[in-house]
Structure formats: C-alpha cells, structure tokens
Structure 1
C-alpha cells in the first residue's frame, strides 16, 4: 500500500515580511514507502513479521519480502522447502515450521544462506535427517518429534551460542558423528531424550549445563563419559536400562546438583554419586538395600526419592541417613517396609511412606522432627497401637497428616496443635467424639470419607 505523509513546513527562525496581499505558501512533501509484500493467506507487519500459522498451506508461500525477519508457518501442511523458497530471506531471524508435513530432506544450501537466522523450529514433522549445514548465527534449533536417524558434523558444529532439542526421534549411536558439536562449546542445553541411544554421545560441549538423555536404551556409562563437562549441573537419565554394573565408580561429576535415574535397573544406590547433589531421583528401580555408607557423601542433598523400589525394613540401615543433615524431602513410598525406618533426618519438611505395609512406627522414629510439615502414611496397615505414645505430639510444625487407607478404629488422640489438614478416609472409624479435635485449634480440613 502506498503511504503518503503530509509535512507542514515550519516557519523560518527569523520572520520574513510579506508584501500586502501576498498569500502564505504551504509546502507539501510526499514520501513513498515500498509496498509490503505479503502472501494473501498471511498477515504481515512493516517490521518484517509474517504470520502464516494455521491457514492450511500445502506449499511454501510466495511473495515473501526480502526484509522478512520473522516467519511463522507452523500448523500447516507444507511438505517441501527448496533453495528458491528461502534463499532471498537474508534478514530472517526466526523461522517456525513446527507441525507441518515436511518429509523430504531439507536442502542444505538454503539454510546456509540465512546468515541472520537465530531460531529454527522444525519440531513435529517427518524429517529423517537434519540439514548438513546450518548457519553459525543459530541460537536455538528444535528438531524434536521427527524421525531423525542421522546428524552431520556441521549440522550443529561451529555455533557458539546454540541450544539443541532432538528428543523424540530415532537417533542411534551410529547416527551421531564424534565431532557433532565441534566449536560449539558454549552450548548449555542439549535434549536427546526418547531416542535409541545405547551409550552417552562423545565429545559433548564443555560448557553444557543441562543434559537430557532420558528414555533411551542406555545400558552403561563408561568411565570418563562426563569428564570434560565441568559446568554440568543437571543430568537426566531416567527410563533407561542402567544397572550398577554399567556405571563406573567415578561416573558422575562432583558439581552435579540434579540427577534423575528413576526407572532403570539399579539394585543398589550407585557409587560415585556427585557430592554436591541437591536432588537425587532413584524411584522405580529395583533397589532392595540401603547400606550404612551408601549415602554418606551426599551431605548437600535436599531431596531424595527412593519410592517404588524393593526396600524392606531389615535392609535399611538405621545409620544410612546420618549424613543427610539438610535433607528436606524424602519419599519411600511403594516399597515393602513393615516398620518406619529409624534414624531418618531431623531436617525433613516432607516425609512420604505411603503404599507400603507399615504396621509399626517404633519408639523414637519421629523424635526431633520439629521441621516436619507434611507426613504421608496412607495405604498401609497402621492401627492405633502401631504408633508409640506421643508420636504425633512431637511433630510441633506438622500441618498435613495423611493416615487414609489404614486400619485405624478411632481418631488419634495426641494430634499436634499445628495440624491443619487430617486425612482419615478408608479406615475403620465409626464414631467421632465431640472432643476429638479440641487440641487442634488450627484445623482447616478433616477428611473421613
């Protein structure tokens, strides 16, 4: 569209005397801007944003301006991109092609010409291989949920600011080059979950902060696999085939603070765990024992999840938790515990031991837990005489107590004053005395059904 601007000239700084009867002239300046090229199905702005999302396109749109900076083509049915389609888009910074029908290999030369491209979104297509070359300006590349089986050395190499998302593809060890991230050392986030990898990729970027390798086929982590990743803080290895035999004692880095290893084949707490770990997720394994020194070096741990393993009361050493002095959350649900373990950390804020066979809380098991605010003991076999006298009163900060799904015949009589929510449904309670909650002035919710 032609735009015209009328500009009224200002009077000069020094007034000029007019001759009598002479009219004052008004100068009009007309400027013309180039028309904004825009495909008919799309909306475009003068700033270079072109939005063609969700308009049922089956082909790449024509009539795109050379000045296009943001191109949104997600949620269409586009099957092919050629060099001719994009070679003139030298100012393109963001290119979104998520959720289309791209099945053919992308032509390498086209993307290489996009010298300003920073964000490339190609998730949810049917690509079998990534482009051989992508521009070094790239900041984020999302190829998730395709059918990728191969990555090339220069696909992600030589990109100093890159983050890469490759989850939900069909990548195998053979499809990854050894130097896949060569000269991309500043890459901080790498997501390769839900593929078919059996070993940790080699030559990972040294500046990596977060690594997602969950839901692969990893069987072992060899010694030195993470040695050059001095900045790695978060490692996600859940839903693999890892066993204790498949991990070297020095596998993990000392600075790692979050480690997820749930749903693997572990039978013991792994050795060589990072000493600075804050979160350790070991749920859904086959761990049957916690020895006296299995957790001795994890003194910075604040959250530990051991739920849904094969732990029994006799195989949990009473001094196993002695060094976990700042642990705030512990989950031991879904095991085979008959008695609440002794020696649990007094620093706990949340303790969950639901869905076991608990029929005993022995004397002193809850002593000193003055910070405990939430205690979940549902779906066990607890009776009134299963709990030592005065146990609940010791929990002076307790706000939530869940005893549902047990065998209680009466409401416990020694509940703490701090209690706000009490869950007692699915027990054997038939009557509620009028004085049952006189000692709990802060109560907000009582659940009996």
Structure 2
C-alpha cells in the first residue's frame, strides 16, 4: 500500500519534470517556439496540477517542489505539521493551494508570503486533537527516491489556535479556515486587498469581538462574503462590515436581530448592503420592528429553526427586493404573522412548514403578488378560508402535506390557472370529490399519498386536466367501474 503511494508521488512529480523538460527541448530545437511565444506566453499555455493528498506526508522541506508551471497543489489529508515561507518559495505561479486535514498548529498567513499569485487557500481541519497515522517524511536531497515511513504521534497538548494576518497576499480571493479550534484572529501586518470570501465555519471557540471585526474590514476591504456557521457567535455587529453581501451565521447562539436597540446576544444590522442572510438554527426569539429597515438589498433571508413566535407588523416592510424567505421550524402562531408580509411584493418562495398555524386568515397572503412557491406542511391546518390563495396569480407550487385537511374549497386556490403542483400528502381526505380543482387547467401533479381515501369517483376525473398526474401511494381507494 505504501509503495503504491510513494510511486504515485513519483509519477506526479515526474509528470511535472517531463513537461518542463519537453518544453525546454522544443525551445532548444527551434520547434516553432518563436511563433508560439508571439501568440501566447509560455506560462499561459502550461498549467500543472499536483495531487499529493492522503499519502501520509509529515514534513515538507524548503522548496520541496521547484516548478514554475504548477498552478494547483493539493496536500489534503496528510500529517504536515509545519510550513514556512520557504516551503513554497519555488512555485511562483501557484494559484490554488489546499492544506486541509493536516496538523498545522500555527495558522500564519506569513507562511505563504512568497505566493504572490495565490487566489485560493484552504486551511480547513488543522488545529485539532492528536491522532496516530503512518507518515511519510520526504528528504530534500534525494526527493524522488527516498521516503521514510514511520508512525508518529502528534501530541500538541493544549493549543491556542490563532489565525494570524501577517502577510500581503495581493491576489487571494478565497480563504478557508473551517473546522479548527480557532480562538482569535490576530492582525499584524500586510493585508488581503482582494479577499472576497472568508470561511470560518465550525470553529466552536471563536466569537469575533468588535476590534477583530473592525480590523477585518481594514485588512480585507473587498470582503463581501463571510461564512461563520456552527461556531461560538453570541454578538455580531454587521454594520462594521458594510460591504458584505453574504452573511451566514447558522448554528450559533444569537437570540435577537436588531438595528439600534441591541442587548444580550444579538445580530445588529445597520447601513447594510446584504443580499443573502442566513440565521438558521440559532436561538432567536424576537426581532425588532426596525431590524431590517436598513437592509433594502436583501434577496434571501433564512430564519428557519429558531424560536420565533411573532413577526410584528412592519418588520419586513422595507424588504421589497426579498425573493426567498425561510421561516420553517419556528413557533409562529397564526396571529403572530397576520400582517407580516405586507411589504414583500417581490417574494417568490415562502416556507412556513412546521409552525403552529392551525387557522390562517383569508388576507394573510393577499399582498404576495409575485409568490411562486408556498409551503405550509405540518402546520396543523384543518381548513382553508375561501379566497385564501385566490389572489396569488403566479403561484405554481403549493404544499399542504401533513395537515388535517379533508376539503379544498373551490375558491381557496388561485383562480388564475397558474398552479402546476399541489401536494396534499398525509391529510384526512376521504372523498376525492372534496378536492375542487376544475379551475386549474395547468395542474400537472396532484399528490395524495397517505390519505384515507375510500372511493375515487370516475366522474371526478372528467373535470381535471387531461395531462395531470395523480399520485396515490399509501391509499386503499377503489375506482368504480
């Protein structure tokens, strides 16, 4: 097994060496190299990718690869525990470097200072608990033929894991530092002027304070995507990063969303350019009326899997660009959202499943003129008011699965003929005649699985679209002759 891995490394490196050799040979023989150079520089024609992942490397000597054509290097899943600026000093065109799932205890960006063309850097899964694996240590003086295989226990003891910004990486756009034991971000020198995406997910001890967020803005002024899920975030002031367009804070311990009056564990939104905000699986119980008053560019808002029981009148009034709203798996009561959706004139997708909406007022969705998909699964609904959805002229998908419905009034559904999919699975329908769909000529799918249907009338089929598919798994119904 180990011989195969060593051979793999040798083959990969041999490919790089032979490619460089063949190019040199072509140039020395005059094989139309001058015309090739005039059309396109040589470095733009050759891009080598090396995959050295999962082969047990524990040590990388200085300048361990010398090749100007390597643009992508994968070292994932090894046992590397130390890198310096000299490690990658002979890879001038390297653009993508992945060191995920190694044992690097010091996450210093200074180690990559020589990589002026680096665009993507992956440092996921490094500061973690120790383990034992077989390891390969390469010896620089005889790199192609010698490899020492030995089991090594990396006992790092108690670490304080810090991400140090101590280098200028002018072309870096994506930085991944997920699933570590980061406690702090340290800003020393240099900067990441073109960094657009920073991934800090699954760092259970990291909670950025106000100073760290302010320094992040200075060191990465172009940052527009911050991914900070499943960590230790209690307070976050997004107004300190006004250029963010994407903010993901799923799986943290935020309890409220606010703009001006903020206390406890909160997310503060003010003067924001956010377009995508995800706060799913937090502990949010309340939102101030003005929470989103300064986020007019929001397109996607995910508040699912929280403890929200009420959305006060006016909370969403300034979200006229919002198209996707996720509110499923909360404690929302019927009266808690009676006037919540008034300003969402461009909303296309609304998820409300797994809330406590036993009855829904007839005008609750009346202003959602652009709505295309509505999901109300498992909300305890036992009846639909007449004209509840009749004004939703663009509605294409309606899901009401897992409720207590036994009848669909004719005027409760859209009268425009826009509906294409109707999901009524796992309800209480006993008579298919109680589903009035004769005003839905474009309906393509009607799903009625797991309903106590006894008899399906042949007469009912004469009133439904000829191209409609009826799904009936889990029923004991009969079609009379």
- TM-score interval w.r.t. the shorter chain? 0.7 to 0.9
Q: 2:250 aligns with which of 187, 193, 198?
A: 193
Which residue of structure 2 aligns with residue 150 of structure 1?
208
User: Offset of 1:8 from its aligned partner?
Assistant: 6.8
Q: 1:254 aligns with which of 300, 315, 320?
A: 320
Which stretch of structure 1 is more off in the superposition, 127-136 or 222-231?
127-136
Which residue of structure 2 aligns with residue 99 of structure 1?
125
Q: Output the CA distance in 2 between the equivalents of 1:73 and 1:257.
A: 37
Q: Deviations over 1:326-378 (max 9, x none)?
A: 21110011011122343212421100111111123446711122111111111
Change (3 A) 1:371 1:44: farther
Q: Output the CA distance in 2 between the equivalents of 1:40 and 1:88.
A: 11
- Structure 1 gaps, min length 5: 11-36, 414-449
User: Offset of 1:38 from its aligned partner?
Assistant: 7.3
Q: Output the CA distance in 2 between the equivalents of 1:363 and 1:82.
A: 67
Which residue of structure 1 aligns with residue 88 of structure 2?
64
User: Offset of 1:47 from its aligned partner?
Assistant: 4.6
Which residue of structure 2 aligns with residue 165 of structure 1?
227
Which residue of structure 1 aligns with residue 459 of structure 2?
390
Which residue of structure 2 aligns with residue 429 of structure 1?
none
Change (3 A) 1:145 1:41: farther
Q: Output the CA distance in 2 between the equivalents of 1:44 and 1:213.
A: 44
Aligned length: 375
Change (3 A) 1:136 1:226: farther
Q: 1:228 aligns with which of 294, 297, 304?
A: 294
Change (3 A) 1:353 1:83: closer
State the SS of the aligned residue for 2:251.
Answer: coil
Which residue of structure 2 aligns with residue 209 of structure 1?
275
**Structure with greater strand share of residues:** 2
Q: What is the TM-score normalised by the length of structure 1?
A: 0.75
> Which is higher, the Rg of structure 1 or of structure 2?
1
Contact 2:303 / 2:327 at 8 angstroms: preserved in 1? yes
Which stretch of structure 1 is more off in the superposition, 194-203 or 68-77?
68-77
User: Offset of 1:320 from its aligned partner?
Assistant: 0.8
User: Offset of 1:296 from its aligned partner?
Assistant: 0.9
Q: Output the CA distance in 1 between the equivalents of 2:270 and 2:196.
A: 17
User: Offset of 1:136 from its aligned partner?
Assistant: 3.1
Contact 2:349 / 2:372 at 8 angstroms: preserved in 1? yes
User: Offset of 1:123 from its aligned partner?
Assistant: 1.3
Q: What is the TM-score normalised by the length of structure 2?
A: 0.70
Contact 1:286 / 1:309 at 8 angstroms: preserved in 2? yes
- Structure 2 gaps, min length 5: 1-16, 32-59, 129-158, 258-266
Change (3 A) 1:83 1:141: closer
User: Offset of 1:248 from its aligned partner?
Assistant: 3.9
Q: Output the CA distance in 2 between the equivalents of 1:384 and 1:9.
A: 85
User: Offset of 1:48 from its aligned partner?
Assistant: 5.0
Which residue of structure 1 aligns with residue 378 of structure 2?
308
User: Offset of 1:178 from its aligned partner?
Assistant: 5.9
Contact 2:124 / 2:179 at 8 angstroms: preserved in 1? yes
State the SS of the aligned residue for 1:157.
Answer: helix
Task: Map 1:218-367 to 2 at 5 A.
Answer: 218-244=284-310, 246-252=311-317, 253-268=319-334, 269-273=337-341, 274-313=344-383, 316-343=384-411, 344-345=413-414, 346-362=417-433, 365-367=436-438
Change (3 A) 1:40 1:114: closer
Q: Output the CA distance in 1 between the equivalents of 2:82 and 2:339.
A: 55
Q: Deviations over 1:365-405 (max 9, x none)?
A: 111221111111111111216x5x62222222444211222
User: Offset of 1:282 from its aligned partner?
Assistant: 0.4
Q: Output the CA distance in 1 between the equivalents of 2:106 and 2:278.
A: 30
